[in-house]
Amino acid sequence: MRKPEIIYLDHAATTPLDPRVLEAMRPYLEEHYGNPSSVHQLGRRARVAIEESRERIAALIGAEPAEIVFTSGGTEADNLALRGVLHGTRRHLITSLAEHEAILRTAEALEEEGAAVTYLRPGPDGAVTAEQVAEALTEKTGLVSIMHTNNELGTCSPVRAIAEVCHRRGVPLHCDAVQAVGLLPVRVDELGVDLLSASAHKFYGPKGVGFLYVRRGIELRPLLRGGKQEQGRRAGTENVAAIVGMARALELAVEEQEARLNHLRRLRERLIRRLDEALGGMFVLNTPRDPERAAPHIVNIAFPPQNGEPVDGEMLLLNLDLEGVCVSSGSACTSGAVEPSHVLRAIGLPRETAGAAVRFSMGWKNTEAEIDRAVEILAAVMARLAGVLR
């Protein structure tokens, strides 16, 4: 029996490495293998590659090179932001219940260590407002952390408005922009954020590398201690090839941004329309229909109980996978969890509905034919599951 053709619609989890990025990385995997902290010529060549990459990344997001700290990815960048800033007498953190687990689990750990955390409840679209943040600010608030684009819903937060509220009270704002950098126009000078996290494998770069933007003047305590790398802010020998690859991937993403965005917007519109046509009232759309309020690559739906019985979300995803459709129920970092998505529960979805969610996340190489086929397969799978539930 011939295997079905793969339709990959899980780009919010990870993206394939762009061949042009691999070519940029190759010399630093094969020839220029020196440790960038070494003083000999191989070490100096690696150091130059890192600093040139830092300059390019900084320019692409409106920052200064010294404000870029290289990390192992978005999770480390989030941890470094929260733990690096939240210290001293102002140990109150404000965040949202719809944040990524990297923020929420770090916040919980900080609570166990004596910090105070306020968790704002998002609206039905998954975003919190600047007014909510303003009401939660106190004299003890040392940091606000609100994501740019929700990784499960695609909803974009009013980051600029939140930054203005924070700065009026002298509180720095961290923004988890892992689902935005390299896809949407993101410039720290325009957003007004003080810290911002990004991860290369979300924009066709390599896995295991990311960065944290830290505005000049923000005191950041290191999470990892050891050497003096990254101006003493992140110890450990730098992953030269990955850093070079990240810079090239971001460069390509910005150069091709308009074309990619236009393509993704067309796919998003087509996907929602096809879902409406094929599944009618069987599902709820958790992603905002208004394209101005959401990123163009994520569409999240969930299935309420059918014929009075809950839909088995795990069985739904397994059936789609058997048919070659690669999607997820939410964040890849929590895919092994039995519990329904914390984001869907935070926006008020009943437990049995949140447990049967599908997140489609598209890439710039997906086609309209793939979208049509994925919806056709989903409709067939749901027809079978609904039949079992009768």
Residue with tokens 């039995």: 338
C-alpha span between 162 and 122 (Å, rounded): 14
pLDDT at 1 exceeding the cut of 80: no
Cβ proximity of 374 and 321 under 8 Å: no
Confidence of residue 98 (pLDDT cuts 50, 70, 90): very high
**DSSP class of 356:** T
Residue with tokens 């070494």: 38
Name the residue ranges covered by the structural domains of the chain: 7-15+258-389, 19-255
| Known catalytic membership, residue 326 | no
CATH class of the 19-255 domain in this structure: alpha beta
Active-site annotation holder among 156, 175, 326, 333 = 333
- Angle at the Cα of 173 (from 167 to 174), degrees rounded to 5? 165
pLDDT value of position 335: 47
Q: Where are the beta strands (DSSP E) in the chain?
A: 7-8, 68-71, 92-96, 116-120, 141-145, 173-176, 195-199, 210-214, 284-285, 298-302, 325-326, 357-361
Closest CA to 342 of 74, 120, 78, 104: 104
C-alpha span between 381 and 42 (Å, rounded): 56
* Predicted TM-score (pTM) of this structure: 0.95
Cβ proximity of 188 and 213 under 8 Å: yes
The pair of three-digit structure tokens given for residue 190, joined into one six-digit string: 């325009």
Residue with tokens 């995997």: 29
pLDDT value of position 145: 98
pLDDT at 333 exceeding the cut of 80: no
Type of residue found at 313: G
Would the CATH topology of 7-15+258-389 be identical to that of 19-255? no
For the stretch 243-277, pLDDT in tens is 999 999 999 999 999 999 999 999 999 999 999 99
pLDDT at 313 exceeding the cut of 50: yes
For the stretch 196-232, pLDDT in tens is 999 999 999 999 999 999 999 999 999 889 988 998 9
CATH 3.40.50.1820 fits 7-15+258-389, yes or no: no
The pair of three-digit structure tokens given for residue 249, joined into one six-digit string: 């991937």
Burial class (CB in 10 A: 0-12, 13-18, 19+), 87: middle
